[in-house]
């Protein structure tokens, strides 16, 4: 309503100014436009100029109103219900064993990167991302990030394991520490995705998940049947250990060593695409009105100059100077 009021006000003011201008030039019209006067189409110039400026004003006021509404602090605080998607990534040496992927040609770490990227490609909405890496202890790497590229950067070879003490992987301790890192988030706002092969010392008792955590996905990596020798033992995906971890957290265990996580497992993180909108949106109409109004208002002077009258002022020929007369032909 406010943009329309501004547009009407501009329309009235410009129309009044054009009416006054028309009255003033009517007396000298023959001097300005020649004996035949201005062409008939110029009678519509006041109307065109009034409508074009009114359209530009409506578009500008509409865009300002939309921008102000989007940046309203009260609205932002009311709708600040972002979902936290936190990845808990195993960075132990066993994650660099090569037995993952459909053909077993990838390391477990590379497979973790591919699965994480597949998840990020399918989710949308008001999301905040986090990554917690663990080996002998847990370290928050990225928290409350808006850009999923920060998550991809962590999984794409960031050498976080060098920041942790060397030792045995303690999955239970790492998960308990990760739960403490997300406990302060709003109730029911957090989804945890745990990537690990389960190769760890015996699980310590897992703490109850905090109220901030709504869902837990435990994703297993590595060959679940054939082990690979490392650090004096055969390392493989410990399905029993991961199932006990998922049960303790009230979550779901999935083997993603050769296949990606099902889209249905992501739940409400997958937001369906909105149907294609028919016609232009309000902001697009506002931009179109501004462009059209500005173009018409800018072209009116040019049209008046070259097409407003049939009369053309001629410049008289310059008489030759005395020097030019004396020069021989």
pLDDT tens per residue, range 108-161: 999 999 999 999 999 988 899 999 998 888 889 999 999 999 899 888 877 776
Residue 263, pLDDT > 70, answer yes
Task: In whole angstroms, give the CA distance from residue 167 to residue 135.
Answer: 8
Is residue 79 predicted with pLDDT exceeding 80? no
For residue 172 the two structure tokens come to 């239970």
Residue 78 pLDDT grade (very low, low, confident, very high; cuts 50, 70, 90): very low
pLDDT recorded at residue 73:
58
Distance in angstroms (rounded) separating the CA atoms of residues 127 and 193:
14
- Answer for the pair 18, 50: CB distance below 8 angstroms, yes or no: yes
Both structure tokens of 135? 């080996």
For residue range 202-259, list pLDDT tens digits in order: 888 999 999 999 999 999 999 999 988 888 888 999 999 999 999 999 999 999 999 9
**What's the pLDDT at 219?**
95
Question: How do the domains of the chain map onto residue ranges?
Answer: 2-74+283-310, 82-261
Q: What is the pLDDT of residue 138?
A: 86
Q: What is the 3-state secondary structure (H, E, C) of the chain?
A: CHHHHHHHHHHHHHHHHHHHHHHHHHCCHHHHHCCCCECHHHHHHHHHHHHHHHHHHHHHHHHHHHHHHHCCHHHHHHCCCCEEEEEEEECCHHHHCEEECCCCCEEHHHHHHHHHHHHHHHCCCCEEEEEEEECCCEEEEEEEECCHHHHHHHHCCCCHHHHCCCCCCCHHHHHHHHHHHHCCCCCCCEEEEEEECCCCCCCCCCCCCCCCEEEEEEEECCCCCCCEEECCEEECCCHHHHHHHHHHCCCEEEECCCCCCCHHHHHHHCCCCCCCCCCCCHHHHHHHHHHHHHHHHHHHHHHHHHHCECCCCCCCCCCCCHHHHHCCC
Task: Indicate the range of 52-61, 78-87, 235-244 predicted with least confidence.
Answer: 78-87
What is the spatial distance between Cα 43 and Cα 180, in angstroms, rounded to a whole number?
Answer: 76
How far, in Å, CA of 101 to CA of 222, rounded? 8
Specify the fold of 82-261: Rossmann fold (3.40.50)
The confidence score (pLDDT) of residue 67 equals: 85
Q: Tokens in use for 205?
A: 């008792």
Residue 165 clears pLDDT 60, i.e. is over it: yes
Each residue's pLDDT tens digit, 264-285: 888 888 876 556 567 788 899 9
Answer for the pair 98, 55: CB distance below 8 angstroms, yes or no: no
Q: What is the pLDDT of residue 80?
A: 53
């Amino acid at each position: 309503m406010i943009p329309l009021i501004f547009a009407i006000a501009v329309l009235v003011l410009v129309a009044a100014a054009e009416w006054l201008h028309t009255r003033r030039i009517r007396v000298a019209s023959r001097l300005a436009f020649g004996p035949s006067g201005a062409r008939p189409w110029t009678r519509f110039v006041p109307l065109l100029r009034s409508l074009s400026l009114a359209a530009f004003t409506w578009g500008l006021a509409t865009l300002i109103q939309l921008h102000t509404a989007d940046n309203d602090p009260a609205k932002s605080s009311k709708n600040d219900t972002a979902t936290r998607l936190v990845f808990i990534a195993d960075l132990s040496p066993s994650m660099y064993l090569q037995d993952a992927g459909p053909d077993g040609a990838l390391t477990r770490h590379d497979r973790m990167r591919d699965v994480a990227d597949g998840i990020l490609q399918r989710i949308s909405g008001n999301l905040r991302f986090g990554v917690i890496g663990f080996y002998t202890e847990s370290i928050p790497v990225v928290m409350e990030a808006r850009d999923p590229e920060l998550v991809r950067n962590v999984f794409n070879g960031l050498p976080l394991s060098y920041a942790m003490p060397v030792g045995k992987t303690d999955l239970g301790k790492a998960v308990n520490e990760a739960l403490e890192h997300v406990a302060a988030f709003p109730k029911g706002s957090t989804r945890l995705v745990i990537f690990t092969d389960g190769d760890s010392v015996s699980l310590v008792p897992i703490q109850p998940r905090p109220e901030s955590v709504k869902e837990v996905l435990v994703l297993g990596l590595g060959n679940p049947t054939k082990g690979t020798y490392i650090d004096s033992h055969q390392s493989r995906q410990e399905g029993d250990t991961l199932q006990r971890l998922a049960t303790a957290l009230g979550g779901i265990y999935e083997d993603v060593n050769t296949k990606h996580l099902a889209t249905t497992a992501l739940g409400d993180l997958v937001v369906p695409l909105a149907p294609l909108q028919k016609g232009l949106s309000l902001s697009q109409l506002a931009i179109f009105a501004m462009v059209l109004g500005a173009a018409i208002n800018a072209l009116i002077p040019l049209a008046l100059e070259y097409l407003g009258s049939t009369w053309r002022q001629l410049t008289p020929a310059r008489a030759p100077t005395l020097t030019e007369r004396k020069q021989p032909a």
